Amino acid sequence: MKKTERAQRPRDISLRWELFLYLALFIVFVLAVVWLFQVKLLDRFYESIKRRELIRTADTIEEHIGKSSLYTVAYQNAVDYGICVMVLRIEGINAIKLVAVDVTGDSVLSNMTDKYVTELYNKSKEQGGEYIDKRTKGELADAGLYYPRFFFHPQRDYYTDSDAKIVSTILIRLVQGTGDEEYAILLNVEMTPMGAVVSTMSMQYLWIAVALIVGSLFLALIISRTISRPIERMNSAAKRLASGNYDVNFSGEGFREIRELADTLNYAARELSKNDRLQKELIANISHDLRTPLTMITGYGELIRDIPGENTPENIQAIIDEAERLNQLVNDLLDLSRLQAGAGQLKISRFNLTDTVRDTMQRYEKLVQATGYRINFWSDREVYVEADRNMILQVLYNLINNAINYSGEEKLVRVVQSVGEKVVRISVIDTGEGIPPEHLPYIWDRYYKVDKVHRRAAVGTGIGLSIVKNVLELHRARYGVDSTPGKGSTFWFELPTVPPDEVEANTENQN
């Protein structure tokens, strides 16, 4: 159910939306990460940085307590980090200001009440010598710990709203002196609330997100269009191909993958068209080849039945000959389909190839006598091979049959055995019409015939060489043809030889 729904969904839409979805998800992810750090955690980062600066400054000042450099160091740090510094020397209930640097001009430190100082002192005592107090100036003023000097508010009579929101962080550290005295280091930093900044940035992020998502939609549209356009075009070409139009051209532009797909489809279309043409030719050839002997058989049969005295051995022989032709045709077809179906099933044996060729030649003797053909075999030694003997016989028959069929006026066919190093070559040479070079690559194909005009003299189904090719390729044998139009053709194949002594011993055993 789900599958059909998916199949019905238009392809380009799905690609476009899918791309958009991925792009949008990526943008949302990036924005979320940036937003988290820039907006959500900004306050916390800012605060922790300030806190660290306070502690570092306290450390530096602590090192200089009791030294003459104290004031310079305190001043330098105050200016560098924007921190207000106050160092007190506490003796009993008296506190003496040693250093006071107010970089803001309105530091809480300069305007804190004694109550606040005492409170801070007690808290840091409780905490083991160091305490950090963080409150807004408004809170401090409300609690009576701080006298704001500037920015009086018209209604609330002591400070303005924005001033009241400033967060004041005070670090107090107690340091024991060498004698009875004690020192208190007070550091104060003021932090403007980030609220406004954060809300501005949030708003900006919202707009950035909207802009990016709209942008990604356009990008998805453009990308999907460049991808899906050629695919759509190829799809419609493939549909035309499926309906039997082999002239289609797949043009893939844009991506390498699509171009390669187009090349593959073009190749497939060419092969399909070739196959289709060959099938049609085969049907035409076979039906012609079947019809001719059948007409002859019927004709001779009727002749013998109807006309007294026509029941002659010659007429009956004619019927037998035609029936044999039919038989040959059917056998060829069967051989080829068997070869193609059961590829790889070779019955390998060792045999004398020279003998085998000689035997084959003898079978043609009758034909030679009857028709005036000359067929001779030349060999200078006995050669043994390991192969499927019946299949090699078939190859020899097909090559010699072709040579006879196409041998021309001279009616001469030569079979030559030449032996090289560990290899024997059998060549079947005729002096016939030859094969035009442009046909040479195709003659091994099924159903291929150079001469499209069907002549009874040049009988054949276009299957013989295809069988030869299949058999020799199963044997992994080299084979080929050299042909000159008007002069004749030489068809050849090569098989590896096996040492005769070993084989002779073997054949003797078999005998």
Within 391-430, which residues bind ligand ADP (CB under 6 A)?
398, 402-403, 406, 430
Q: Which of 461, 471, 493, 497 binds ligand ADP (CB under 6 A)?
A: 461
User: Min. distance of Cβ 417 from ligand ADP in angstroms?
Assistant: 18
User: Min. distance of Cβ 294 from ligand ADP in angstroms?
Assistant: 19
Closest CA relative to residue 487, chosen from 450, 434, 439, 428: 434
Q: Are 186 and 171 in contact (CB under 8 A)?
A: yes
Q: Which of 109, 379, 464, 498 binds ligand ADP (CB under 6 A)?
A: 464
User: Min. distance of Cβ 477 from ligand ADP in angstroms?
Assistant: 17
Task: Establish if 435 lies at the interface with ligand ADP (CB under 6 A).
Answer: yes
Distance of CA 82 to the CA centre of its chain: 59
Task: Establish if 462 lies at the interface with ligand ADP (CB under 6 A).
Answer: yes
- For ligand ADP, the closer of residues 351 and 377 by Cβ is 377
User: Min. distance of Cβ 447 from ligand ADP in angstroms?
Assistant: 8
The one-letter code for the residue type at 29 is F
Number of residues interacting with ligand ADP: please give it, by CB under 6 A.
22
Q: Are 149 and 106 in contact (CB under 8 A)?
A: yes
User: Min. distance of Cβ 426 from ligand ADP in angstroms?
Assistant: 14
Q: Nearest 5°: phi and psi at 189? A: -130, 140
Within 480-509, which residues bind ligand ADP (CB under 6 A)?
489
Q: Which of 80, 161, 451, 473 binds ligand ADP (CB under 6 A)?
A: 451
Cα–Cα dist 351/133, whole Å? 108
Task: Establish if 293 lies at the interface with ligand ADP (CB under 6 A).
Answer: no
User: Min. distance of Cβ 381 from ligand ADP in angstroms?
Assistant: 26
Q: What is the DSSP string of 230-246?
A: HHHHHHHHHHHHHTT-T
* Sheet containing 374-378, strands listed edge to edge, beginning at the edge strand earlier in sequence: 374-378, 412-420, 423-430, 488-496, 478-484
- For ligand ADP, the closer of residues 123 and 414 by Cβ is 414
Q: Which of 58, 443, 471, 495 binds ligand ADP (CB under 6 A)?
A: 443
Query: Going by C-beta distance under 8 Å and a sequence separation of 6 or more, which residues neighbour residue 177?
Result: 65, 66, 89, 183
Tokens 């024997």 belong to which residue? 424
User: Min. distance of Cβ 433 from ligand ADP in angstroms?
Assistant: 6
- For ligand ADP, the closer of residues 53 and 335 by Cβ is 335
Within 54-93, which residues bind ligand ADP (CB under 6 A)?
none
Q: Nearest 5°: phi and psi at 374? A: -115, 125
- For ligand ADP, the closer of residues 106 and 445 by Cβ is 445
Q: What is the 3-state secondary structure (H, E, C) of 18-68?
A: HHHHHHHHHHHHHHHHHHHHHHHCHHHHHHHHHHHHHHHHHHHHHHHCCCC
- For ligand ADP, the closer of residues 377 and 448 by Cβ is 448
Note the residues at the interface with ligand ADP (CB under 6 A): 398, 402-403, 406, 430, 432-435, 443, 448-451, 460-466, 489
